Amino acid sequence: MPDLPMLPVRVTVKAVVEETPSVRTFYFEPAIPSSPGQFVMVWVPGVDEVPMALSSATSITVQQVGDATTAMFLLRPGDSLGIRGPLGNGFTVSGKTLAIGGGVGAAPLLHLAVEGQVSTFLLGARTADELLFAPVINASSNLKIATDDGTAGHHGVVTDLMDEIDLEAYDHICVCGPEIMMLKVLERLQKAGVADRGQFSLHRYMKCGIGVCGSCATDPHGLRVCRDGPVFTGADLLESEFGRYARDATGSKVVFPWAKKAEE
């Protein structure tokens, strides 16, 4: 593995596109060549440095959820960011590939679709207004849509669409979205006997982004999301903390609400 970048590279924001009320894509230069599914550490000067997936070599697609992303939403063309990366391991695909994306999780999968590596793309969101990149994805793959409120496509969750397809017909199944969604995908893959074909992009709290600090290490094997992931196979995740809990900035376990209900 080549030496990992330790200092952020200054990039200039060239355009800001409002994808939904809470999601924007920031286009920048120079480009950050990467493989689909890799991520970067984005330094917002004076605020924080946070991990973000690349939606292309010249863009990151961001949901406003905290201090750093709120500060980013104030940026305009000509402003600067610092970027370290690309980091981690992305998706590895060949043959026939199924992509399943929920919400802003569609961003790292977009990279795959645009490169013509996705045969079928299942895209989910809460409402039609929150669907990301549907026209672009539809131009390069067989797109199927689900919305929670039924305002576009299937009325229901994106995992419902898995019932309409033969999972065994796909060599790879690439997934990114809320962890509860990905957990439901993994359960269906396991039931179909193809969990090992799944590739899941995990989100965990990160500090260094290069595998040194251990803040994103997962139980029980200590796999680091930043260095060993962020993309893991379904087989890797079956016996892990995935879908049950994560850790906060102090290292304390935070049990997911759905996991608490399952235990009650």
Bridge partners of 154? 146
**Is the Cα torsion angle 63, 151, 98, 197 positive or negative in sign?**
positive
Q: Are 243 and 256 in contact (CB under 8 A)?
A: yes
- Which range marks the domain in which residue 114 is found? 97-204+224-240
**Burial label, 211 (beta-carbon count in 10 A; 0-12, 13-18, 19+):** middle
- For the cut 60, the answer to whether the pLDDT of residue 35 exceeds it is yes
- Tell me whether residue 213 is annotated as binding: yes
Task: Assess whether 123 and 166 both reside in one domain.
Answer: yes
Task: Assess whether 56 and 165 both reside in one domain.
Answer: no
Task: Assess whether 51 and 120 both reside in one domain.
Answer: no
Task: Assess whether 65 and 113 both reside in one domain.
Answer: no
pLDDT-derived band at 1, boundaries 50, 70, 90: very low
Q: Is residue 256 part of a domain?
A: no
Mark which of 26, 58, 87 sits at the end of a domain: 87
Task: Assess whether 192 and 124 both reside in one domain.
Answer: yes
d(CA 210, CA 191): 34
Q: Is residue 217 part of a domain?
A: no
Task: Assess whether 113 and 44 both reside in one domain.
Answer: no
d(CA 149, CA 133): 19
Helices (H), the chain: 67-72, 106-114, 134-138, 179-192, 234-237, 257-263
> Mean per-residue pLDDT for 161-169?
95
- Tell me whether residue 216 is annotated as binding: yes
pLDDT-derived band at 2, boundaries 50, 70, 90: very low
Q: Using one digit for the tens of pLDDT, what is the confidence trace for 195-238? A: 999 999 999 999 999 999 999 999 999 999 999 999 999 999 99
Query: Which segments of the chain are extended strands (E)?
Result: 9-20, 23-29, 39-44, 48-56, 59-63, 80-87, 97-102, 120-125, 142-147, 154-155, 172-176, 198-201, 217-218, 223-224, 231-233, 245-247, 253-255
- For the cut 90, the answer to whether the pLDDT of residue 182 exceeds it is yes
SS3 at position 214: coil
Domain containing residue 171: CATH number: 3.40.50.80
Q: Is residue 64 part of a domain?
A: yes
Domain containing residue 63: CATH number: 2.40.30.10
Task: Assess whether 129 and 198 both reside in one domain.
Answer: yes
Tell which residue, 25, 30, 35, 36, has the closest CA to residue 12. 30
> Mean per-residue pLDDT for 136-148?
96
Mark which of 65, 87, 109 sits at the end of a domain: 87
Predicted pLDDT of residue 7: 82
Percentage of the residues of the chain whose pLDDT score is greater than 90:
90
Task: Assess whether 80 and 104 both reside in one domain.
Answer: no
Tell which residue, 201, 184, 198, has the closest CA to residue 97. 198
Query: How far does CA 79 lie from the centroid of its chain?
Result: 25
Per-residue CA distances from 68 to 30, 44, 49 (Å):
21, 6, 7
d(CA 27, CA 59): 4
Task: Assess whether 122 and 230 both reside in one domain.
Answer: yes
